[in-house]
Chains A and B, each alone.
Chain A
Amino acid sequence: MESTTSIIPPEGMQLVYERPKALVDVHTHYCPGCTHGVAHRLLAEAIDELGVREKTILVAPVGCSVFAYAYFNTDGCEAAHGRAPAMATGIKRIDPSRVVVTYQGDGDLAAIGTAEIIHAAARGECITTLFINNAIYGMTGGQMAPTTLLGQKTKSSPMGRDAKIAGLPIRMSEVLATLPGSAYIVRRSLHDVNNIRKAKKAIVTALKAQINGLGFSMVELLSSCPTNWGIPADKALEWVEENMVPYYPLGDYKVIEAVKSL
């Protein structure tokens, strides 16, 4: 199905930017200002750029992005909570010519799905994971996630996260970078235009690493949740920059030599 958008450029103008073809022309269910929309768009642009739309299979998670398969103009399926890497492993092993992408939130990947993601990375499965880290459980109403920052108030930590009770937040990129099977593990943020552009480049590299069979690739994206954080969308992006980036430093945690030379 091709995109149905057909906006005619005004006289003397050329098209600079339009909706990527890998996104279905429907309105998403995400809250206003939620960066899931940005992450979806970046993945769609990367798929378009590499020309792999017909070969891509997206594995949607449980969480706010549970309907992700309905928004991408690719093949897709829905995994049980946290099990997207296991399902992606099966798909990739049956048909290695496919580009298999899992799209997971922090409640999905860093809590119930920790075993799946760690072993997928340890086995060096040639899949790509987009890890959306917004430090909270979004869909269920804003409970504390493993990635919730110390002192952060959520529905289940109304006095702020206390290290004595809940421990310290997990830095998943650092954890996965220690595993021998991972090829490309980076953390980017979606809090401003510059960082969004950097995130897009990282997603393209991650998909290329998979296409070249180099191993497990993951891009962690620091995201906002204006609704459950209880602040406006622009303030939420500032909150990401001021509070999340210091605890979750942006950067490349593992880039094997073969990926560098791509």
Chain B
Amino acid sequence: MAKGTIIIDQDCCKGCGLCPTVCPQHVITMEENLLNEKGYHPAVLVDPDGQCTGCAVCAVICPDVCITVFREVPAQRRSKTAA
């Protein structure tokens, strides 16, 4: 499966908790021990095993557009760009 990652703008997050409900890999949690500048508990990516696939479902549901999504460049295409 493709590997990916996300970057969450934590100060933009309002802690609505929608992204964890849609993440198919269950790698997003609401960080109860963290407060952002607005005073919300923001969403964080907890993905020690690299399970995020970069499917971007979290970015589709996010009402505050805080999530930027990346996906691994497929091996064939990477060699092509190198050549």
Contact = CB atoms under 8 A, between A and B. Distances in A.
A10 B5 contact: yes
Interface stretch (A17-25, A144-152, A208-216, A244-252): A17-25
Interface residues of A, number: 36
Given A32-B40, A33-B17, A37-B64, A13 B73 contact: yes
A193 B57 contact: yes
Given A14-B73, A16-B54, A27-B12, A232 B68 contact: no
Given A9-B70, A13-B5, A16-B70, A38 B61 contact: yes
Contacts of A18: 68-69
A35 to B, nearest CB: 6
B56 A37 contact: no
Interface in B56-83: 56-57, 59-65, 67-73, 78
B7 A12 contact: no
A13 B68 contact: no
A53 interface: no
A34 interface: yes
Interface string A35-58: 111101100000000000000000
Contact of A14 (B21, B38, B65, B70): B70
Contacts of B54: 13, 16
Given A16-B71, A28-B64, A33-B16, 19 more contacts: A5-B68, A12-B78, A13-B71, A13-B72, A14-B72, A16-B4, A17-B59, A17-B67, A17-B68, A18-B68, A32-B14, A32-B15, A32-B17, A32-B63, A40-B65, A41-B65, A193-B60, A233-B16, A233-B17
A16 B58 CA distance: 12
A196 interface: yes
Contact of A13 (B18, B59, B70): B70
A233 B18 contact: yes
A234 B67 contact: no
Nearest to B61: A193
Nearest to A234: B21
